[in-house]
Amino acid sequence: MRWIATCPHETVDVLSQELIGLGIQNQTRLHRGIAFDTDLETAYRAHLSLRTASRLQRIVREFSLPDIETLHHELKNIVWSDWLRSHRPFTVTPALTDLQSQNLGEAKIIEAVVDSIQSSAFEKKPPLFDPEADNPISIVLFIRNGICVLGIDTAGRALHKRGWRLTGHPAVLKETLAASILLLAGYTGEETLLDPMCGSGTIIIEAAYIALNKAPLIHRGKDDFSLEHLAGFDRNLWRRVSDQLRAQKKAELRAPIYASDINPKYVKVAQDSSLRARVEKYIHFSSQPFQQCHPPTPRGLLVANLPYGERIGAGIIDTLYQDIGNVIQKQFSNWSIALLVPQNAPIHLLKLKTTQQVDLMNGALPVKLLIVKC
The pairing of strands 283-287 and 2-6 is: unpaired
Mark residues 300-339: x for contact with ligand SAM by CB under 6 A, - for none.
-----x-x------------x-------------------
Which amino acid type is present at position 202? T
Strand, helix or coil for residue 372: strand
What 327-334 contacts at long range (C-beta under 8 Å, 24+ apart), as own/partner pairs, is: 327/290, 327/291, 327/293, 328/302, 328/352, 328/372, 331/293, 331/294, 331/295, 332/295, 332/302, 333/374, 334/295, 334/298, 334/299, 334/374
DSSP letter (8 states) at residue 189: S
Among 200, 226, 274, 336, contact with ligand SAM (rule: CB under 6 A)? 200
The reply to whether 169 sits near ligand SAM by the rule CB under 6 A is yes
What's the min distance (Å) between Cβ of 370 and ligand SAM?
A: 15
The reply to whether 289 sits near ligand SAM by the rule CB under 6 A is yes
Stretches 142-150, 154-162, 192-200, 221-229: which one binds ligand SAM (CB under 6 A)?
192-200
Residues in the interface with ligand SAM (CB under 6 A) total 20
The reply to whether 136 sits near ligand SAM by the rule CB under 6 A is no
Strand, helix or coil for residue 31: coil
The reply to whether 261 sits near ligand SAM by the rule CB under 6 A is yes
Q: Which is nearer to ligand SAM, 274 or 305 (CB)?
A: 305
Among 33, 126, 127, 199, contact with ligand SAM (rule: CB under 6 A)? 199
Cα(364)–Cα(374) distance, integer angstroms: 31
Strand, helix or coil for residue 28: strand
Which amino acid type is present at position 373? K
What residues numbered 110-129 form the site for ligand SAM, per CB under 6 A?
A: none
Among 142, 164, 290, 321, contact with ligand SAM (rule: CB under 6 A)? 290
- Are the C-beta atoms of 350 and 325 separated by less than 8 Å? yes
What's the min distance (Å) between Cβ of 10 and ligand SAM?
A: 17
**Residues engaged in binding ligand SAM (CB under 6 A):** 169, 171-173, 196-197, 199-200, 202-203, 261-263, 266, 289-291, 305, 307, 320
